[in-house]
Structure 1
Amino acid sequence: MKKKKKVVDELAGSGVKRIQLLGGEPLYSDRIFDLLDYIGSKGIKVGINTNGVMLSEANIKRILNANCVDDIIISLDGLEKLHNKIRAANIFNIIIDNLNTLIKLKKQKNVQLTVGVNTVLTGENTEDIYELLYVLDGIGIDYWHGLELVKFDTNEKTFTLDEIIEILKKLGQIQQKVSLIIKPKFTFPFIVQYVNITYGFKLYLAEHFCGADLTFAYIDWSGRFYPCDRALPTNLNKDIYKNLKIHELYVNKTSLDKCITSDLFKAFSFVYADETIKAKACIGYPYHKKICYPCMVVLKNTDVDKAYIYCLEMKQKIFTEWIQKFKSECLNDEYGIPEYGIPEYVIPENVILYKNTSTMYLFDVKLNNIYEIEDNLIKAILVSLYNNSSKNKSDIFTEVLFSPHTEINIFDGYESFVTNFTTAFTDIQQKGVIYDISKTLL
């Protein structure tokens, strides 16, 4: 316990605001409660990941009395039969009883505490999840995390794109009926946004952000210090660790400052440095800094140059799938957008980044750059262009990119441009004004 308190002291001295206790079973030893009291005395908040078996009424009361725990996450892999098969026999009902007790005591004591459930989605348990969500909602659980199984050894995906969309559609339907916040996380970029927009759901949108070496770090049972809980020797190529002096990164033997300035941590912090904008793999990739990051674990390398090469290969594969999906479901005959106008990268969102690849004139004003227009408006404009311009029906070349952020000003005067463009579109509808679009590509 002395070593643990020493670690807490150093973390508190370094300005750490939150500690997440996870890995193994934090509640296995009664000493955890003394540690919670000590952490609380330092003004640090605590989150606990537990399998739920040890959440007895007595333990729950001790947790609530610690006055530092503000979030408890319980692992459930499915309904009774499947969960007991995966974890251990006859524990599902114990966990459900403990959850009921936790929610009851939380309300009685009026404690500000969120209670969530994590489920690793494996393909075997997806059907169980739909019914489980109703059970959790009935108990009063605040949120559910569905985490796609990630196979770090092969980078093989657990689900195909179509399977993910079907899962999200069912989750979206359930979200409309429950107060439980459903938080699905899949490796396909912006897949949740796509389903929300396409089918009108309101599933929770997780931030696409990794705080490794920036907002958090991971300490294992022995005191070894890592940028995150996945940046372990087993998840990275062995030769990466040869020159990183990983054996020195023990928080109970080395200062915290020395740990976070090590080569391993520098590799992770670099991925958010401004220099990444200049990376060859990302030049020309729309909003790359906003929508992706070269995770060293996924890329299997802390050598940034080598990682980017693999990153580009991965992105190309992912977005090739997206393009096929976009072609078949989004760009249909209703809007008549020619196939050869499909962009290289397509990212779903509720605002479209519209890039005309030909020179466009609007009341003698030349429009030949990139600008943002609301999704429904730009579609209507494209329809109007085809319907109103018999001269240019076959000559319209467009690229449509979904923009990941709605608050980006593409150029000076953006707001007035949108206003003017909207007004102009109204004129098109009312007066039949024709756009003159030349076939000269930019």
Structure 2
Amino acid sequence: MFIFISKSCLAKFMTGKIIRNYLPELYALVISRKKPAMVTVNLTNRCNQRCIYCELSVNKSDLGDKALSLADLKWIIDEMAVNKIRRISLCGGEPFLFEGIIEVIAYAGSKGIRCSVTTNGMTAHKLSDNALNVLVRYKTQVNISIDSLDETIQSFTRGTSSALKNALLAIELLGNKSIPVTVLTAISRYNYHSLSGFLYQAYEKGIMNILFQPIIYYSNYPDLPVIERKSELNVPVDKLDILMRELKQIHLFERTHQISTNVYRILPWLEFYLKRAAQTEEGWFFTKVVNKFFCREIYAIIDIAYDGGIQPCGLALATVDIHANRSEGLISLWSKATEELKRDMLLGRYHDFCNGCCHHFSRNMLASVIKYPLQNRNAAIQLGALLAMRFLSVIYKRFLKKHSKPVRGK
């Protein structure tokens, strides 16, 4: 069957995600990045869930004077505005437990900075009309963590019996306001065998975006000790064939249905990561994916911890604090915080936590291919094929959406 692709449809896609994401990234890597692309802030270490894979679930501490304040967040946003950094990610703990979060979003929006909020959804369904209007006005993206639509699994992995109910209520409320929602799903030994069924159910419920990732088997919060035997929460190596079959089913379903996932981005490296997590293979998992590695995160993201520390990367302990020497400015403090790690990475001196880096690895893989295309030509061919297939899938789904009524179901 041949599908006629109109110029307007092609142009819309080309001027959409490609221009927003890929062209700036290509420019930054080839010409050199002049500034970070975004800031990520853990607003608080407080949480109302007790996830089995989160260090905050077993480590409770009062940050006292070190806790980020509303004034701290406004200073960060002011610094971003001065340096024309237009994206901030608000995380936690549970970010909606930070008392001034709506004011933070409004303040950032007034400076031309867009927010994304990563939440467990426990209280998001209780947001006031005023709060929802702020989210709408400033085009806030909301990410909600759901590991399974099976209440038993979700309650177990998230540590509370109301986790699924509240998350779905939040998705419904935000959807009614046309606030974009992405579901974040941690792939673990408890849900790997039912991921395709999860996707079909999500599609039936009108969920259009899902991002999957394995469990980071190092500490998510480097100031806290890693959970004992955390790596065992990942998918067992002898079950990888089942996991990969589930992901390939998702990939096939996604091609022809109005739902979007990141499966095409994690397929090239997930198996290597999980084998290293299980210690069935030695060395650096990313060298099995690319011959020459480039870490984009330490150049593109300013990571700020809930105590005001600037981390060299999301898995590295903070070495610089925004509460000290604030007159130097955020960019200068971040440069100091990342200086040593950048030098080590350029020299190929990797750190133990580098093997736990899966949250940003798809972008790091793409960056490595763009930065060193000849050394990484095999990875480039693999990525090129996946991106081409993704492009055709998007065009096909746009065609279906334009010329037929939406169809839900498998």
Query: Which TM bucket (shorter chain)?
Result: 0.5 to 0.7
Alpha-carbon spacing, 1:209–1:104, altered in 2? closer, same or farther (3 Å): farther
Q: Residue 77 of structure 1 corresponds to which residue in structure 2?
A: 147
Q: Residue 298 of structure 1 corresponds to which residue in structure 2?
A: 354
Gaps of 5+ in 2: 1-69, 219-225, 273-288, 357-368, 384-410
What are the superposed Cα offsets for residues 102-154 of structure 1, whole Å, 9 maximum, x if unpaired? Answer: 22220xxxxxx532111222202223433322222123223212211132268
Q: Residue 49 of structure 1 corresponds to which residue in structure 2?
A: 118
Letter in 2 for 1:297: F
Per the alignment, in what secondary structure is the counterpart of residue 214 of structure 1?
helix
Alpha-carbon spacing, 1:24–1:141, altered in 2? closer, same or farther (3 Å): same
Q: Residue 381 of structure 1 corresponds to which residue in structure 2?
A: none
Equivalent of 1:138 in 183, 204, 207: 204
Alpha-carbon distance between aligned partners in 2 of 1:114 and 1:211, rounded to the nearest angstrom: 26
Equivalent of 1:36 in 105, 118, 132: 105
Letter in 1 for 2:212: G
Say if 2:380 is the partner of 1:405: yes
Per the alignment, in what secondary structure is the counterpart of residue 124 of structure 2?
coil
Work out whether residues 155 and 298 of structure 1, in 8 Å CA contact, stay in contact via their aligned partners in 2: no
Say if 2:161 is the partner of 1:89: yes
Q: Residue 240 of structure 2 corresponds to which residue in structure 1?
A: 164
Per the alignment, in what secondary structure is the counterpart of residue 47 of structure 1?
strand
Alpha-carbon distance between aligned partners in 2 of 1:162 and 1:142, rounded to the nearest angstrom: 31
Alpha-carbon distance between aligned partners in 2 of 1:73 and 1:272, rounded to the nearest angstrom: 30
Letter in 2 for 1:124: Y
Alpha-carbon spacing, 1:266–1:80, altered in 2? closer, same or farther (3 Å): same
Structure 2 counterparts to residues 263-412 of structure 1, below 5 A = 264-270=337-343, 273=346, 276=347, 294=350, 297-298=353-354, 403-406=378-381
Alpha-carbon distance between aligned partners in 1 of 2:208 and 2:380, rounded to the nearest angstrom: 27
- Of 45-54 and 10-19, more deviation after overlay is shown by 10-19
Q: Deviation at 1:25?
A: 1.2
Alpha-carbon spacing, 1:248–1:74, altered in 2? closer, same or farther (3 Å): closer
Bigger share in helix:
2
Q: Deviation at 1:299?
A: 5.7
Letter in 2 for 1:101: L
Work out whether residues 310 and 321 of structure 2, in 8 Å CA contact, stay in contact via their aligned partners in 1: no
Q: Deviation at 1:219?
A: 1.1
Alpha-carbon spacing, 1:138–1:59, altered in 2? closer, same or farther (3 Å): farther
Alpha-carbon spacing, 1:260–1:29, altered in 2? closer, same or farther (3 Å): closer
Q: Deviation at 1:218?
A: 1.2
TM-score, normalised to structure 1's length? 0.51
Work out whether residues 217 and 231 of structure 2, in 8 Å CA contact, stay in contact via their aligned partners in 1: yes
Letter in 1 for 2:161: A
Alpha-carbon spacing, 1:403–1:271, altered in 2? closer, same or farther (3 Å): farther
Letter in 1 for 2:354: V
Per the alignment, in what secondary structure is the counterpart of residue 151 of structure 1?
coil
Q: Deviation at 1:404?
A: 1.3
Alpha-carbon distance between aligned partners in 2 of 1:215 and 1:147, rounded to the nearest angstrom: 20
Say if 2:187 is the partner of 1:121: yes
Work out whether residues 223 and 252 of structure 1, in 8 Å CA contact, stay in contact via their aligned partners in 2: no
Per the alignment, in what secondary structure is the counterpart of residue 43 of structure 1?
coil
TM-score, normalised to structure 2's length? 0.54
Alpha-carbon spacing, 1:186–1:406, altered in 2? closer, same or farther (3 Å): closer
Q: Deviation at 1:42?
A: 0.7
Q: Deviation at 1:99?
A: 0.9
Per the alignment, in what secondary structure is the counterpart of residue 185 of structure 2?
strand
Q: Residue 331 of structure 2 corresponds to which residue in structure 1?
A: 257
Alpha-carbon spacing, 1:228–1:247, altered in 2? closer, same or farther (3 Å): closer
Bigger share in strand:
1
Q: Residue 14 of structure 1 corresponds to which residue in structure 2?
A: 83
Q: Residue 242 of structure 1 corresponds to which residue in structure 2?
A: none
Alpha-carbon distance between aligned partners in 1 of 2:270 and 2:151, rounded to the nearest angstrom: 32
Q: Residue 231 of structure 1 corresponds to which residue in structure 2?
A: 316
Using CA pairs below 8 Å that are at least 6 residues apart, which structure has the higher relative contact order? 2
Alpha-carbon spacing, 1:53–1:61, altered in 2? closer, same or farther (3 Å): farther
- Of 52-61 and 123-132, more deviation after overlay is shown by 52-61
Work out whether residues 51 and 74 of structure 1, in 8 Å CA contact, stay in contact via their aligned partners in 2: yes
Alpha-carbon distance between aligned partners in 2 of 1:132 and 1:407, rounded to the nearest angstrom: 27
Per the alignment, in what secondary structure is the counterpart of residue 403 of structure 1?
helix
Q: Deviation at 1:221?
A: 1.9
Alpha-carbon distance between aligned partners in 1 of 2:267 and 2:351, rounded to the nearest angstrom: 12
Per the alignment, in what secondary structure is the counterpart of residue 301 of structure 2?
coil
Alpha-carbon distance between aligned partners in 1 of 2:313 and 2:132, rounded to the nearest angstrom: 26
Per the alignment, in what secondary structure is the counterpart of residue 56 of structure 1?
helix
Q: Deviation at 1:171?
A: 2.4
Gaps of 5+ in 1: 107-112, 193-205, 234-245, 282-293, 301-348, 354-369, 371-400, 409-442
Q: Deviation at 1:6?
A: 1.7
Letter in 2 for 1:81: T
Alpha-carbon distance between aligned partners in 2 of 1:182 and 1:165, rounded to the nearest angstrom: 20
Q: Deviation at 1:65?
A: 3.0
Alpha-carbon distance between aligned partners in 2 of 1:161 and 1:94, rounded to the nearest angstrom: 33
Alpha-carbon spacing, 1:39–1:209, altered in 2? closer, same or farther (3 Å): farther
Tell which structure's C-alpha radius of gyration is larger.
Answer: 1
Q: Deviation at 1:19?
A: 0.4
Per the alignment, in what secondary structure is the counterpart of residue 99 of structure 1?
helix
Letter in 2 for 1:214: Y
Alpha-carbon distance between aligned partners in 2 of 1:71 and 1:248, rounded to the nearest angstrom: 28
Alpha-carbon distance between aligned partners in 1 of 2:192 and 2:146, rounded to the nearest angstrom: 12
The aligned length equals 263
Letter in 1 for 2:248: G
Work out whether residues 96 and 123 of structure 2, in 8 Å CA contact, stay in contact via their aligned partners in 1: yes
